[in-house]
Structure 1
Amino acid sequence: MSEPNDKFYFDDIEPDAQLLSSETVLDREAMRDFARRWDPLPIHLDEETARKAGLGDITASGSFLLATKNRLLYELGVDMAVIASFGFDEVRFKEPGKPGDVVRLRLTWLEKRLSTSRPDRGIAKHLGELMRADGTVILSLIDTVMIRTRPRA
């Protein structure tokens, strides 16, 4: 694996290898602000509604959790030579994200293959898991990306 801040290429991907982000806290007001603008479901905004729904407290919207995952991805300290993402598969919201949850991203490379038409790039899949400090996964998804190969001398 490359050192932090080095460019990370297709060649550096090893199936089953993992990257682990720093931690961040799900902030109540940030969750509410996001929900007000993008996903104003009452369980994301109002504690009483969330309690009546059996949730105990407001929950983060799925879009907020995806945005948190993306921020943590870019804070890994690895400059990935990704050209594009083909999209997320198997997105699962496994547990509610609650205010005060300490979360981090675990990225596990699943597979890779060279492009058959463009030898300067490859296709790789990774499992992204947003998890609480105790290891409980609250969000998981599979991302398929196009990533450059290491430039040849």
Structure 2
Amino acid sequence: MAGLYFDDLTVGQVFRHEIRRTITEADNVWFSAVTHNPAYLHLDEEYCRNETEFGQRLVNSAFTLGLMVGISVGDTTLGTAVANLGWDEVRFPKPLFHGDTIRVETEVVELRESRSRPEAGIVVFLHRAFNQRGELVAHCKRSGLQRRRPAA
């Protein structure tokens, strides 16, 4: 199991995830299609070239959010998460485009006991995604219910 137990985490701990991912046109078009998002910003190259300040299609921000969090799972919650409790302060300060490569880092910003589940604790992660130029392109806080280490 790759994930860490609640007891293994400390506030201020930072994970610099090894997985990087170049976002393709197929990723963006597929994700937009399966989520029924017909926004021209994601699907219509001609519209974006002529009618937007970007001059090209933008990567769907919901895909960016999912990818940013997904990259973190192997190092943090794989096999130890009970449930995702929510995302807060989701921001996209710079756009992503087809061909951009992202890297992700995660910081533990809060740990607290669960009042209703003594076998688990609540962790708040701060995820940050950067493009290949080191520019911050996305960040969010994610709260999760994390298993405690089983008694020996």
Give the TM-score category using the shorter length. 0.7 to 0.9
Deviation at 1:73, TM superposition (A): 2.4
One-letter amino acid of the counterpart of residue 122, structure 2:
I
Tell me if the contact between 2:2 and 2:74 (Cα under 8 Å) persists in the aligned partners: no
The structural deviation recorded for 1:7 is 4.4
8 Å Cα contact 1:42-1:50 kept in structure 2: yes
CA contact (8 A) 2:4 2:76 kept: no
Cα distance in 2 for residues equivalent to 1:128 and 1:7: 16
Residue of structure 1 equivalent to 2:123: 124
TM-score computed with the length of structure 2 as normaliser: 0.87
Identity %: 27
Aligned length: 149
Q: Which residue of 1 aligns with 2:15?
A: 19
The match for 1:42 among 18, 40, 43 is 40
Instruction: Label 1:71 to 1:117 Cα distance change in 2 as closer, same or farther (>3 A).
Output: closer
Alignment of 1:58-137 (within 5 A): 58-76=57-75, 79-137=78-136
Q: Deviations over 1:36-81 (max 9, x none)?
A: 3322211111222122211121101111112222331234486351
Q: Name the counterpart of 1:53.
A: 52
Consecutive unaligned residues of structure 1, counting only runs of 5 or more, are none
Q: Choose 106-115 or 69-78, whichever is displaced more.
A: 69-78
The worse-fitting range, judged by mean Cα deviation, of 65-74 and 24-33 is: 65-74
Q: CA deviation at 1:11?
A: 0.7
Residue in structure 2 matched with residue 8 of structure 1 by the alignment: 4
TM-score by length of 1: 0.87
Structure 2: state its 5+ residue gaps: none
